[in-house]
Amino acid sequence: MSRLRAGWSFLAAAALVAVAAYFAGAQPPFSLVLWFLAVLAVLVREPAPPRMQEEPTERMEAVEATLSQVESVLGALDLPVVVIDGDATVLAQNKAAEKAFGPLLSGLHISTRWRSPGILDMIRETIETGEPNQIEHSERLPSERVYIVRSAQVEKLAGALPQLFLLSFRDISELRRLDRMRSDFVANASHELRTPLASLRGFIETLQGPARGDPKAQERFLAIMLDQATRMSRLVDDLLSLSRLELKAHIAPDQTVDLIPVLGHVRDSLAPLAADLGVDIRLHLPEGKVEVLGDRDELVQVFENLMENGCKYGQEGKVVDVYLRHGDGAPVEVSVVDHGPGIPAEHVPRLTERFYRVSVADSRSKKGTGLGLAIVKHILTRHRARLIVRSEMGKGTDFTVRF
Ligand code: ADP
């Protein structure tokens, strides 16, 4: 059928040539000869090679079947993976890749999505040598992320399928963030310890030198030295607390703790400090018991930090109110409310970061280490509880623990 159609088109073309030759001035016999020659050419021309239509279709179907198998295996992976062929054309992507990078159009070159020369060179090298490669690559959108991108050749699959290559993307943004946090933390901790240490060294040198025979100066300097040494040991205690809490961060506490005596105990232990600052800590507690699953000592530490902050930073409000609320089905909540100057809104989200302070000078003058709320947050995370901070400038601050 198709051969016949091809023959007819040759005949029609030959007729056109003959008619054109006639109009161009050729004698009718000459155009008849042309016509005759064209017909002859059609009859004796080589038979058309047999059409290969069936074979590529079968092959395409086989490729697609294999690709869909590969896709369903890769679909179970939470690592983004893109499958390409030896021309770096995208053939498939798994769900994780679609989630991370959006849908990729199969059949297009990989450079339509990743133009970074690093990635393209790496892919070219893997395709040429068959050796796996990897590079670090950052994506800016939709959010800043860092990936280790790896290209590798897939062992040849059964059948005459194209050679497949896999691109996998390991997200190391979180690791990088933790690394940065850790090194910031060491830098901050060293800085916090170095300041009192430098001051201690200075006073020791003064006592050994100019103040050697001056008992009054000696007394004054020794008092300051004691203060600095106490500050260092407070800092070391807080650092140790944090590292102990980190070690057991994933173990939820299983004791039952009644919050009413805990809050009473904290109020009593802070009474001397509150009296010094002229602040009254008022407890507003319900009758009976209010129990939560927790670690008593750690909960004491949480409420000590919150009430102490309320007294120190909300001193001018003169009163710190502590409310314990619970009800049918409602979560147990403890709110520590001061009536001090409040915290500017831009600082609130960062208060629980280690060493974060609204005012470093203010915190130091109040014997703060900048670690109190970081410890609170760690303890509450272990207790599956949340810290909610509401603050209004000029009115005060409310730190609520919701269990
Ligand atoms: P510090 O040891 O400095 O008190 P925290 O982690 O306990 O460290 O608190 C971090 C910072 O949060 C404090 O330095 C202070 O600036 C601010 N802050 C905490 N509680 C209050 C509060 N009740 N009122 C105002 N500011 C507060």
253 lines ligand 1 (CB under 6 A): no
Locate the ligand 1 atom nearest the alpha carbon of residue 399 and give its number: 23
16 has pLDDT over 90: no
358 lines ligand 1 (CB under 6 A): yes
What is the rounded radius of gyration, in angstroms, for the C-alpha atoms of the chain?
40
Report which of 101, 106, 112, 102 is spatially closest to residue 71, judged by C-alpha positions: 106
pLDDT digits (tens, 9 = 90+) for 373-394: 999 999 999 999 999 999 999 9
Q: What is the pLDDT of residue 140?
A: 86
Phi, psi for 233 (deg, rounded to 5): -75, -30
Report which of 118, 113, 74 is spatially closest to residue 93, judged by C-alpha positions: 74
| CA–centroid distance, residue 362 to ligand 1 (Å) | 9
More confident residue, 18 or 65: 65
Please measure the distance between the N-terminal and C-terminal CA atoms of the chain and give it in whole angstroms.
81
Q: Are residues 342 and 389 in contact, defined by beta-carbon separation less than 8 angstroms? A: no
pLDDT digits (tens, 9 = 90+) for 84-138: 999 999 999 999 999 999 999 889 999 999 999 999 999 999 999 999 999 999 9
Q: Could you tell me the pTM of the whole model?
A: 0.67
Q: What is the pLDDT of residue 386?
A: 96
E strand residue ranges, 154-274: 165-171, 256-258
| CA–centroid distance, residue 360 to ligand 1 (Å) | 10
| CA–centroid distance, residue 265 to ligand 1 (Å) | 22
Q: In this structure, which residue's CA is closest to atom 10 in ligand 1?
A: 357
Q: What is the pLDDT of residue 64?
A: 78
Q: Which helix (H) or strand (E) is 211 found in, with range? A: none
Phi-psi region of 351 (alpha: psi -120 to 50; beta: other; left: phi over 0): alpha
Q: What residue type is assigned to position 354 of the chain?
A: R
Question: Which residue in this structure is represented by tokens 């990078």?
Answer: 101
Q: How far, in Å, CA of 242 to CA of 369, rounded?
A: 12
Q: In this structure, which residue's CA is closest to atom 27 in ligand 1?
A: 313
C-beta neighbour count of 199 within 10 angstroms? 17
369 has pLDDT over 50: yes
Report which of 389, 381, 375 is spatially closest to residue 294, judged by C-alpha positions: 381
C-beta neighbour count of 297 within 10 angstroms? 10
| CA–centroid distance, residue 200 to ligand 1 (Å) | 26
Locate the ligand 1 atom nearest the alpha carbon of residue 375 and give its number: 6
Report which of 150, 154, 180, 178 is spatially closest to residue 165, judged by C-alpha positions: 154
Q: Are residues 351 and 359 in contact, defined by beta-carbon separation less than 8 angstroms? A: no
Q: What is the pLDDT of residue 288?
A: 92
Report which of 8, 6, 27 is spatially closest to residue 18, judged by C-alpha positions: 27
Q: Are residues 84 and 110 in contact, defined by beta-carbon separation less than 8 angstroms? A: yes
E strand residue ranges, 72-144: 81-84, 90-93, 133-139
Strands 256-258 and 319-325, sheet pairing = unpaired
Q: What residue type is assigned to position 17 of the chain?
A: V
**Average pLDDT, stretch 2-24?**
53
Band (328; pLDDT cuts 50, 70, 90): confident
Choose one of 311, 350, 363, 371 to mutate for the ligand 1 pocket test, by most ligand atoms within 8 angstroms of C-beta: 363
